Amino acid sequence: MSDERSAPKYPVSTDDHSGLQPVPVPGLERVPSGWARQNAWREQQQKEHYSPDVAPTWSAAAPGKAAPPNEPNEPKPRILGLSARVFWIVIIGLVLVVAGAIAGGVGGGLAAQRRADSLSSPASSDTVSSTDPGPSTDPVSSTDTAATKTSRPGTATPTTSRSGVVSPAPTDGGCPNINGSIYTPLDGQGKDIPLRAGGAAQVFTVLCHTNYPAGKTYGNPHLYDIMRLYLPSLEDCIAACAMYNAKYETNLDSHVFPDDTGLCRSVAIVKAPGEYCYLKNGTGTNDTFGYPATFTSAVMLLANT
């Protein structure tokens, strides 16, 4: 009996197979060794005139070596939809604009403060004209500045100044309807105003569209204006005339004046903005200069007691 363990497991052919070639199997090619790959790479670079200053460009992965990974094309960071460079340029520009506006406001405030200080200094306030525009300039409507001063020991004296404004036109109470009416002025206590104490009250008659201009130029050489002052109404103007007369008679009795030619015997108002009440020593030629509705007068009826 033959030994079963020594018998071949598969039948062996004794035919000649010298003409057979190995069949290549994909994935089982021979991988060159490291030195072989390096020598092959060097030969390839010499053929391509390799320059050591230029890095090799890999078009494909070398056998047995993975190709370098492609770097991802990451987007540049953005702030509020703007690139970082543009964003910071805008921020710096805004900071410069705000700083300029603040500096301008501070400079303007300091300049305004300096102007206010110069206007309130004693050298520039309380200025009064050196020329007198007339003997009876109205203190209310004049352009001279009025000052109110307060002081404390050891401190500078602050000064507040203000300028006058144009006065509204005086009124007469209803011309021409009041023409020829009689008016009796009253004092501050509501009493009649006599020329002398215990005498009769002064009364006046109203004359619309009437004006007695003073001076020879207007045909009234003996007529003059005693004074002019701003009063808001014809009634106030008549009361001022009566009060003047009462004081005048007191001075006359004390022999301050030689006679009674200085009595206020008529008044006139000019009904226009900035105009006055005129106290006159008498009457004369009527002249309204072509504007009769602008003038109203009153004449004293009682001159003696």
The arithmetic mean of pLDDT across residues 27-55, rounded, is: 58
Give the Cβ contact number of residue 266 at 10 Å: 24
Which one is predicted more confidently, 5 or 170? 170
Q: What is the pLDDT of residue 104?
A: 76
Average pLDDT of the chain is 73
Contacts of residue 244, Cβ cutoff 8 Å, sequence gap at least 6: 226, 227, 264, 279
**273: Cβ–Cβ under 8 A, 6 or more apart, which residues?**
166, 167, 168, 169
pLDDT value at residue 38: 65
The tokens describing 165, both together, are 């404004």
Cβ proximity of 276 and 228 under 8 Å: yes
201: β partners: 194
159 contacts 177 by C-beta, under 8 angstroms? no
Query: In terms of pLDDT, which residue wins out, 144 or 23?
Result: 23
The pLDDT of residue 144 is 42
Q: When comparing pLDDT for 248 and 157, which is higher?
A: 248
What local confidence, expressed as pLDDT, does residue 209 receive? 97
pLDDT at 116: 58
Output 27 or 226, whichever has higher pLDDT: 226
Residue-range domain boundaries for the chain: 172-304
Which range, of 32-36, 40-44, 130-134, averages the lowest pLDDT? 130-134
- Partner residues linked to 204 by β-bridges: 183, 300
Distance separating alpha carbons of residues 141 and 213, to the nearest angstrom: 22
**pLDDT at res. 251:** 77
On the question of a cis peptide bond just before residue 176, with omega within 30 degrees of 0, the verdict is yes
Has residue 213 got a pLDDT over 90?
Answer: yes
| pLDDT top residue among 263 and 111 | 263
Name which of 297, 274, 300, 302 is nearest 286 in CA terms: 297
**The predicted structure's pLDDT at residue 260:** 59
Distance CA 35, CA 32 (A): 8
Dist. CA 227–CA 267, nearest whole Å: 10
Alpha-carbon gap, residue 136 to 115, rounded angstroms: 34
106 has a pLDDT exceeding 80: no
Model confidence at 82, pLDDT cuts 50, 70, 90, reads: confident
Least confident range from 41-45, 73-77, 87-91, 200-204: namely 73-77
Give just the sign of the alpha carbon dihedral 135, 138, 143, 149. positive
pLDDT of residue 207: 98
Residues 212 and 299: beta-carbon distance below 8 Å: no
Tens digits of residue pLDDT in 126-184: 333 333 333 333 433 434 444 444 445 555 666 788 888 999 999 998 999 999 999 99
